[in-house]
Amino acid sequence: MTQTVTLTSGAVATLRDVADITERQRRPIKRIQSKLAALPTFVAAVQEAEAAQKVSGGSLTTEQQLSIAAGMGEAFDLLESLNDFLIVAVVRGWTYEFPVDVDRVQDLPTKDVDQLREVCAPFLKELMPNFEPTTDAASPTEPSAA
């Protein structure tokens, strides 16, 4: 079922179902996630954010978010790119006068980008391969959880 989102600016974005996202749209997201996972500054930032959320019981303050972002180094730019590619993968179309494209995401009003990031974030987990152990005897490798 197609979902539409009215953005802060009044523009409308139409979202894809996760099943309609192509491998061409998913591959850059996987590539960036692999790079992020290999960066110690990113891993440390994630751990810091998780610890802060446990203490606060939920959301981080703006100051905490800025502090964590400042310590991310190059991971910050990769995370920005990941979010842009996620928006392009999830958004089928919008009422702006230009196509949905990773280079054009930065041409959107900031509040619309923030809203799209929030709306698209839940799709990220759905796009990632499942590396959980399987007990499936038909698995092409030995069942790892058997």
Contact of 11 with 104, CB cutoff 8 Å: no
- The model's pLDDT over 33-73, given as tens digits with 9 standing for 90+, comes to 999 889 888 888 888 888 888 887 777 777 877 788 787 88
Q: What is the pLDDT of residue 66?
A: 79
Domain ranges of the chain: 3-127
Contact of 82 with 90, CB cutoff 8 Å: no
DSSP of 9-24, one letter per residue? TS-EEEEPPGGG--HH
Enter the pTM of the model: 0.80
Mean pLDDT of the chain: 87
